[in-house]
């Protein structure tokens, strides 16, 4: 036989030598959930081992993440029910939880890249990413609001805003708004190909942000998030966001969309990120709890596959575990 591929797999040193995909700490984006209050570290029931923090304890958490070698954070807030409305007015409060959290994090770990979630759902009494009118999530008014929200985050100190809403035209509108307000160095990570996925379930538990069960309010996000059956449409979304000035484009979720990550990487002139979402984390945790999967092996395999598919950056709830694993490997 002339070709014996097994020669390059004979032992660990040989396998390490020819390994094509390497994970490193700087690849990972750490999602953070902030809540009101003090001394709070509450576990999200559908995301075992992942927590919501009040700002005092979030401070310790971001210091730990920095010491592990994490470079970027992606901040979400859980908004109190009585502060929610249809327009998400609280999102623009300069002393709102998001703005306070941004200031605290930039004071505590000024050298990390702080990304912030721009979308209405945590603030919306209907749990939608835009403003609801007559049973529809209206686009252009929502975009105007999201641009104001991005400015508010930039004023508080965000390095990169991350619109996760999937309204049309929001990247361009946010870019113009940021530039006009003097924030030309604040970047945009666009959730470009975000699918209407069941795998966001645990995240909606974490933030209590699921679409409400109410007459005339859509219970799903299918009029703005993408149909999982479509690939070409994802590339259209990516191209639009690139043309509108996105600095990073994202595909979300990750594992069920590796083909989309690869195709995005092939056409993208900017870094590609992938979001290994809450349900993907929960599946591995649940199977491991039952003894059906080895948690560490499943985590490493999934994250390696996401990077191999073309993701330069990966947002994952396994961020601490994977970095500790990589450190232990030396
Ligand atoms: C909403 C948003 C969602 C996630 C990030 N931003 C959920 C949704 O679209 O309903 C999901 C993240 C995850 O599941 O880990 N703007």
Residue 100 sits in a domain of what CATH number?
A: 3.20.20.70
* 253 prior amide bond cis, ω within 30: yes
User: How many Å apart are CA 78 and CA 60, to the nearest integer?
Assistant: 19
Is 14 inside any structural domain? no
For residue 252, indicate whether it is catalytic.
yes
Q: What is the span of the domain harbouring residue 73?
A: 25-329
Is 19 inside any structural domain? no
Is 15 inside any structural domain? no
Is 180 inside any structural domain? yes
Is 18 inside any structural domain? no
pTM for the predicted model, two decimal places: 0.98
pLDDT for residue 215: 83
Q: Calculate the alpha carbon distances from 65 to 9, 109, 111, 169, 189 in Å.
A: 35, 10, 12, 34, 21
With contact defined as beta carbons under 8 Å apart, do 86 and 125 qualify? Answer: yes
Is 196 inside any structural domain? yes
Quote the number of domains for the chain: 1
With contact defined as beta carbons under 8 Å apart, do 241 and 234 qualify? Answer: no
Q: Does residue 191 have its Cβ closer than 6 Å to ligand 1?
A: no
Q: Is the pLDDT of residue 325 over 90?
A: yes
Tens of pLDDT, residue by residue over 141-173, are 999 999 999 999 999 999 999 999 999 999 999
- Percentages (nearest 5) of helix, strand, coil residues in the chain: 45, 20, 35
Tens of pLDDT, residue by residue over 168-208, are 999 999 999 999 999 999 999 999 999 999 999 999 999 99
pLDDT for residue 247: 98
The Cβ of residue 269 has, within 10 Å, a number of other Cβ atoms equal to 6
User: How many Å apart are CA 242 and CA 249, to the nearest integer?
Assistant: 8
Q: Does residue 277 have its Cβ closer than 6 Å to ligand 1?
A: yes
Is 194 inside any structural domain? yes
For residue 222, indicate whether it is catalytic.
no
Q: Is the pLDDT of residue 330 over 90?
A: no
Is 8 inside any structural domain? no
SS3 state of residue 20: coil
């Amino acid at each position: 036989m002339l070709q014996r591929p097994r020669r390059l797999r004979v032992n660990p040193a040989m396998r390490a030598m020819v390994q094509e995909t390497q994970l490193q700490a700087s690849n990972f984006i750490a999602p953070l959930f902030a809540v009101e209050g003090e001394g709070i570290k509450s576990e999200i029931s559908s995301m075992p081992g992942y927590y919501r923090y009040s700002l005092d304890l979030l401070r310790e958490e971001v210091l730990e993440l920095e010491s592990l070698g994490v470079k970027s954070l992606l901040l979400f807030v859980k908004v109190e029910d009585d502060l929610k409305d249809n327009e998400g007015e609280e999102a623009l409060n300069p002393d709102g939880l998001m703005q306070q959290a941004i200031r605290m994090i930039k004071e505590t770990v000024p050298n990390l890249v702080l990304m912030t979630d721009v979308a209405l759902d945590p603030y919306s009494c209907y749990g939608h990413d835009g403003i609801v009118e007559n049973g529809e999530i209206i686009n252009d008014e929502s975009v105007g609001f999201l641009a104001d929200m991005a400015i508010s985050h930039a004023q508080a100190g965000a390095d990169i805003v991350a619109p996760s809403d999937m309204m049309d035209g929001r990247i361009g509108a946010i870019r113009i708004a940021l530039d006009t307000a003097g924030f030309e160095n604040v970047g945009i990570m666009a959730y470009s190909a975000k699918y209407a996925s069941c795998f966001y379930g645990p995240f909606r538990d974490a933030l209590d942000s699921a679409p409400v069960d109410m007459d005339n309010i859509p219970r799903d996000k299918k009029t703005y998030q993408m149909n999982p059956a479509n690939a070409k449409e994802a590339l259209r979304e990516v191209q639009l966001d690139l043309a509108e000035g996105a600095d990073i484009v994202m595909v979300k979720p990750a594992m069920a969309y590796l083909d989309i990550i690869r195709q995005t990487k092939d056409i993208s002139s900017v870094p590609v990120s992938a979001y290994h979402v809450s349900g993907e984390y929960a599946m591995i945790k649940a199977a491991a709890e039952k003894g059906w999967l080895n948690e560490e092996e499943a985590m490493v395999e999934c994250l390696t596959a996401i990077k191999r598919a073309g993701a330069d950056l990966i947002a994952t709830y396994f961020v601490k575990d994977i970095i500790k694993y990589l450190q232990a490997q030396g």
